[in-house]
Amino acid sequence: MRWTIKPRPEQNQIDQLASALKVDALVAQLLLQRGINSYEQAKSFFRPQLSDLHDPFLMQDMDIAVARIEQAVAAGENILVYGDYDVDGTSSVALVASYLLERYPNVATYIPDRYGEGYGVSYQGIDFAEDNGFTLIIALDCGVKAIEKVAYASEKGIDFIICDHHRPGPELPKAVAILDPKRADCSYPYDELCGCGVGFKLIQALGSRSGETIDDLLPYLDLVATAIGADIVPITGENRVLAYHGLQVINSDPRIGFKAIIDQLDKSSLTITDVVFIIAPRINAAGRMKHGQHAVNLLTETNLEKAQAFAKEIEQFNTDRKGLDQEITQEALLQINENKEEDRFTSVVYDPSWHKGVIGIVASRLTETYYRPTLVFTKSGDKLAASARSVKGFDVYNALQGCADCIEQFGGHKYAAGLTLLEEQYAPFKAQFEKVVSSTIDPALLIPEITVDALIELKDITPKLLRIIQQFAPFGPGNMSPVFMAEELQDAGYAKGVGEGEKHLKLAAKQPGVKPINGIGFNLGDKLPLVANKKRFSAVFGIEENEWQGMKSLQLKLKDLK
C-alpha cells in the first residue's frame, strides 16, 4: 500500500474556519480538504436542503421531454418505460413508471434480458413496443449511444426520450429529447447524476407543471439514494442532497419493496454503505441470475405480502449469485497463475462457460487481488462479452478506445465498462489492451493507495470527534469517510489474529499517557509480527463506534500498518 497524505490547508485558513464554525482545528482541516471554506458551505454540507436542488429545466431538452410526455398523456398513447438490468436501471424504471402510473394508466415497463439482448436499448425491445402499440419509449440509464436503435424505432413510428448519464459518443441519436448532463451542449450545473438521478429530474420537471413541490416527490428518493450508492457516483453537490434525504426515507418510511428486503435483515438503521453492500446486491441479483424485471416488480409492488414473496425469491437469487461468483473467481485466479501472467500490467481472462451475470463481480475481485486494469470475458451468443474494472487513477474507458479496432462495441465509465467482440478478436485485443495500458499507465497506480486526511494523536480521538465525523455522512466518492494516520504506536499486549484462519488482526493501540484504543484490521492478520512484543508501528485507520454486549466504545478500523 502507498500512503498518500493530503496536503494540509494553510494554518490561517484552518484558524478562520475553526473560529467561524466554533470547531477544533482538525474538523476545520477535514472540511477545507472537502472544499468547504465558509460558514454557508458548512451549513449546506451538514444540513443538505432539498431547496438546494437545481431547476430541472436547466437540463438540455427537458422542456421538450416534458412536452412530449404531456402530449402522450393527452392523446392516450401507450408509454413504455425502458431501463438497464442493473440497480441504477431497474431503480430508474421503478421510479419513472410508478410516478406515471399514479397519474396515467397506459404505462408499462421493459428490462432487456442480460443474456438474450445484452446491455442497453435492443431491437427486441423496440419490436416489443411496436407489437404492443407503444408510441413513446422513455429509456433510462442507457440510450445515449443507441443511434441505430433509435433510428429503427423512428421508422416504426416510435419516439424516444433518453435519460442517461454515460458519456455520449461524437454523434447523438435522433431522439425527441436526450437528457444527459454529460452532453457537451448541456449547461446543467451538476453532471455527476446517476441514471436514476436523471429520471428523478424528469419527474421533478413533470411535477412542477402540475403544482407539485419537491416534498411531494420525497417518497421516490429511496430509489435515488440506492442508485447513487450502487452506481458509485460522487456523493457531492446534488447527489449528496438526494442521497442524504433518500437515506432518511429508507430508514423512516421506505417503499414496500425495500421494507420487504429490510425486514429480512438484522439492521435497525441503514447507512449508504449498507445500501451498497446489502440492498444493491440483492436488487442486482435478479438481473444477474434471472431477469431484471423481477427487481422492478419488487420495487413497484404496493402489497406487502406480494413484496415479501418477491424479496424471498430475490434473496435466493443472491445466494446463488454468491456461490457462482466465488467459484468463477477461483477459476479465473487459477487461469492467471497457470498462464504465468502475474507480471503483466493487465488481467484479461476468458472462459466460454462463465456466467455472464457475475463477470463484473469477478473482475472486481481480480482487481482487488492483482490491482491492475482487468477484463473478464465469457461467451454471449456468437460473440464474447466482457466486464472491465480499473484501478484508482486510470481511465479504462480511454484504454478501450485505444483498442477500438478489435472491439465490436463498448460503453461505460472511467473505472467500469462493458464490451463485446468476435471470438477471433480476443487474442489480438488481449495483446493490444496490454500494450495500451503498459504504455500509458503510471506504474505507481499499480500499487493500491490509501489517502490519509490527517495525522492524529490518540489523545485527539474522542466521542465528540466521532459524532462530528458521523455528520459528514453519507460517504462515497468525493466525500470518503475520513482516514487518519498515527505514528509511534505500541500494542498494549493483546494483539492477536482472529476469525477464520486468524486472517483478521485485533489489537489495542496506545501512546504515552493515553488509555489504549481497540483496533480491528480485517484481512490484516499477516501484519501481527509488526506489532508483536510491543514493537513501535504506524497505522492508517478510520474511527468508528463498536458495540459489544450493550457497551459502546471507540474503535480504530485499521486499514494498514507499517
The pLDDT tens digits for 60-92 are: 999 999 999 999 999 999 999 999 999 999 999
- Residue 353 CB partners (closer than 8 Å, separation 6+): 378, 379
Task: Look at the alpha carbons of 531, 535, 541, 546 in this order and tell me if their dihedral is positive or negative.
Answer: positive
pTM, two decimal places: 0.90
Confidence of residue 114 (pLDDT cuts 50, 70, 90): confident
Residues 168-188 as b or e (16 or more Cβ within 10 Å = b): beeebbebbbbbbbbbeebeb
Q: Where are the alpha helices (DSSP H) in 76-194?
A: 87-101, 123-131, 147-155
Residue with the bigger pLDDT between 410 and 133: it is 133
Q: Are strands 551-561 and 537-548 parallel, antiparallel or unpaired?
A: antiparallel
What is the average pLDDT across 354-382? Answer: 93
Q: What is the mean pLDDT of the chain?
A: 94
Report which of 283, 187, 264, 300 is spatially closest to residue 226, judged by C-alpha positions. Answer: 283
Question: Do 396 and 414 touch, CB atoms closer than 8 A?
Answer: yes
What pLDDT is stored for residue 403 in this prediction? Answer: 95
Residues in the chain, total: 562
What is the average pLDDT across 6-20? Answer: 96
What pLDDT is stored for residue 49 in this prediction? Answer: 96
Confidence of residue 115 (pLDDT cuts 50, 70, 90): confident
Report which of 249, 225, 237 is spatially closest to residue 88, judged by C-alpha positions. Answer: 225
Residues 391-415 pLDDT 10s: 999 999 999 999 999 999 888 778 8
Determine if residue 115 is left, alpha or beta; phi over 0 gives left, psi from -120 to 50 gives alpha, anything else beta: alpha
Beta strands in 453-550 (DSSP E): 454-455, 484-491, 496-498, 504-510, 517-521, 537-548
- Residue 80 CB partners (closer than 8 Å, separation 6+): 107, 108, 109, 110, 128, 129, 132, 134, 136, 137, 138
Scan for cell 472537502, then name that residue.
34
Confidence of residue 550 (pLDDT cuts 50, 70, 90): confident
Find out whether the peptide bond into 474 is cis, omega within 30 degrees of 0. Answer: yes
Question: Do 296 and 324 touch, CB atoms closer than 8 A?
Answer: no
What is the grid cell recorded at 80? Answer: 413504455
Q: What percent of the chain has pLDDT over 90?
A: 89
State residue 94 phi and psi, 5-degree precision: -60, -40
CA distances from 103 to 129, 160, 418 (A): 21, 20, 36
Residues 447-479 pLDDT 10s: 999 999 999 999 999 999 999 999 999 999 899
Q: Is the pLDDT of residue 342 over 80?
A: no
Scan for cell 407489437, then name that residue.
131
What is the grid cell recorded at 146? Answer: 443507441
Residues 432-453 pLDDT 10s: 999 999 999 999 999 999 999 9
* Distance (Å, whole) CA 230 – CA 243: 11
Report which of 297, 353, 298, 294 is spatially closest to residue 328, judged by C-alpha positions. Answer: 353
What is the grid cell recorded at 411? Answer: 460503453
Report which of 81, 69, 507, 75 is spatially closest to residue 292, judged by C-alpha positions. Answer: 81
What pLDDT is stored for residue 44 in this prediction? Answer: 93
What is the grid cell recorded at 416? Answer: 467500469
Domains of the chain: residue spans and CATH: 2-8+450-561 (2.40.50.460), 56-313 (3.90.1640.30), 339-446 (3.10.310.30)
State residue 53 phi and psi, 5-degree precision: -65, 145
Residues 39-64 pLDDT 10s: 999 999 999 999 999 999 999 999 99
Beta strands in 342-458 (DSSP E): 347-350, 374-380, 383-389, 409-412, 416-421, 449-452, 454-455
What is the average pLDDT across 281-300? Answer: 92
- Residue 458 CB partners (closer than 8 Å, separation 6+): 486, 489, 509, 510, 511, 514, 517
Residues 315-328 pLDDT 10s: 999 999 999 999 99
Confidence of residue 494 (pLDDT cuts 50, 70, 90): confident
What pLDDT is stored for residue 118 in this prediction? Answer: 81
Question: Do 116 and 171 touch, CB atoms closer than 8 A?
Answer: no
Q: Is the pLDDT of residue 232 over 90?
A: no
First to last CA, the chain: 10
* Distance (Å, whole) CA 90 – CA 122: 16
What pLDDT is stored for residue 399 in this prediction? Answer: 95
Q: Is the pLDDT of residue 551 over 90?
A: no
What is the grid cell recorded at 91? Answer: 431503480
DSSP-assigned letter for residue 527 = G
* Distance (Å, whole) CA 164 – CA 199: 8
Q: Where are the alpha helices (DSSP H) in 210-292?
A: 221-230, 237-252, 256-262, 272-274, 280-289
* Distance (Å, whole) CA 176 – CA 455: 54
Q: What percent of the chain has pLDDT over 70?
A: 100
Confidence of residue 137 (pLDDT cuts 50, 70, 90): very high
Chain centroid to CA 203: 22
Q: Is the pLDDT of residue 14 over 90?
A: yes
What pLDDT is stored for residue 525 in this prediction? Answer: 96
